[in-house]
Amino acid sequence: MTAPVLPPADELLAYLASREEHLVDLLQRLSAAESPSDVPSAQKEVREIIATELENRAFAVKRVPGRKSGGMLHARPARRTHGGAAQLILGHFDTVWPLGTLESMPFEREGDRVRGPGVYDMKGGVAQALLSLDAIRHFGLQPSVTPHLFFNSDEEIGSRESRRYIERLAPAMDRVFVLEPSLGPSGKLKTTRKGIGRFTVTVTGEAAHAGLDPGRGASAILELSHVIQELFALNDLERGVTVNVGTIDGGLRPNVIAPSSQAVVDVRVETAEDAERIEKAIRGLQPATPGTSLTIDGLFGRPALEHTPANRKLWRLACRLGDELGLELEEGTAGGGSDGNFTSLYTATLDGMGAVGDGAHARHEHLQLQPTLERAALLVMLLLAPPLKDCVTEAA
């Protein structure tokens, strides 16, 4: 199938601008269906809203049940050509906000700004995907690269259940568009994301009475203090490496030399090379206090999203199509991870394609309507592009 002719930029932008009220209505329905990650039963309503919207757009929707999550949705056109190239729109419908948040943080619209739990991260991205499909249908076009959509309900807690589905889909995709919110109010796309590791260091010592027989003890807390300093010494901000001891615990009572202690460590890196190096250093820690021993558990749960050749080509394509729309795109690095960290290992991935706004995971969470609709126009143009190998990525 040859690539469809792209719609005129001004007509595409005008059509999406005319859909602003529809976007607000959809956002309100999605936000009203509160869906905290840790309450799987609460996610059924928002999942069914999205599934129904996709079915109304002639997509076949597979509802994948979750064992410990609220499940997943995988959608593709009900009528499609088999065996051709495919592309993936990737997102999630869980939020960090607990049930009842709407009472103190209601859905509101004020001019170009919409507030409410989850509107920015990332129900705005879900709504944007649906509007993009509407625009393609409005102009009577059919992408030459078949669009698939996958939405999960456990992204905010590490995608432990959905990761295997994502990694099964990704290798079959020509490219992936992650509808996580943009980076900050300026709307930067996220072309790199840090890899994230979580490690637990447990120190075992020997208990003794601190006053009567201190020489017989081996303080796990003293040893942990040495370990913490070694961990913080691994920080290298110039390389984008952060190692943070976030919590510590240990000891029995003030008059007992501590027989055990523990630290939980968050690690962020920009490259797979640094992930390997830092993990080796953490696992290689040796006790400095006689009579103590260390046990180290953990791993890098999300790999880094890096500047791979495929990712850079997709970024350049976005810039060229953005120029046609009159959009000046910027890129940036996100310290947090997303499911794009997984897909980038297998295929071209562009993250931060979702809502433009600010306040992810914060009380001032909001999106801006006009730039979000412009971002939807960019998504339309990208979805209509030919397979990436056939794309012209530089401006004429």
**Domain residue ranges in the chain:** 9-192+304-390, 195-302
Angle between helices 9-18 and 124-138 (to 10 degrees): 120
C-alpha Rg value of the chain to the nearest Å: 24
What are the mean pLDDT values of the chain's consecutive 10-residue runs (396 residues total)? 81 98 98 98 97 98 96 94 90 98 97 97 98 98 97 96 98 98 95 97 97 92 98 97 98 97 98 97 98 98 96 98 97 95 98 97 97 98 97 72
End-to-end CA distance of the chain: 24
Question: What does the block give as tokens for 317?
Answer: 């394509």
The pLDDT, as a whole number, for residue 396 is: 47
- Tell me how far apart the alpha carbons of residues 161 and 157 are, in angstroms, rounded to a whole number: 10
The whole-model pTM stands at 0.93
Find the helix or strand (DSSP H, E) in which 324 lies.
Answer: helix 309-324
CATH architecture of 9-192+304-390: 3-Layer(aba) Sandwich (3.40)
- Tell me how far apart the alpha carbons of residues 128 and 374 are, in angstroms, rounded to a whole number: 10
Task: Of 395, 396, 394, 389, give the one whose Cα is nearest residue 85.
Answer: 389
Supply the DSSP string of 39-64, one letter for each residue: -GGGGHHHHHHHHHHHHTTTEEEEEE
The pLDDT, as a whole number, for residue 69 is: 97
Q: In what order do the strands lie in the sheet with 242-250?
A: 242-250, 260-269, 195-204, 293-302
Class of domain 195-302: alpha beta
Q: Can you tell me which residue has the tokens 């006689």? A: 290
- Tell me how far apart the alpha carbons of residues 292 and 124 are, in angstroms, rounded to a whole number: 51
**62: CB partners within 8 A, 6+ apart:** 73, 74, 75
The pLDDT, as a whole number, for residue 214 is: 87
The pLDDT, as a whole number, for residue 126 is: 98
- Tell me how far apart the alpha carbons of residues 58 and 99 are, in angstroms, rounded to a whole number: 32
Find the helix or strand (DSSP H, E) in which 76 lies.
Answer: strand 72-77
Give the torsion sign (CA, 24, 28, 29, 34).
Answer: positive
- Tell me how far apart the alpha carbons of residues 145 and 174 are, in angstroms, rounded to a whole number: 8
- Tell me how far apart the alpha carbons of residues 186 and 109 are, in angstroms, rounded to a whole number: 20
Supply the DSSP string of 340-386, one letter for each residue: HHHHTTTSEEEB--S--EE-TTSTT-EEEHHHHHHHHHHHHHHHTS-
Does residue 121 sit in helix, strand or coil? helix
Whether a cis peptide bond, with omega within 30° of 0, leads into 72 is no
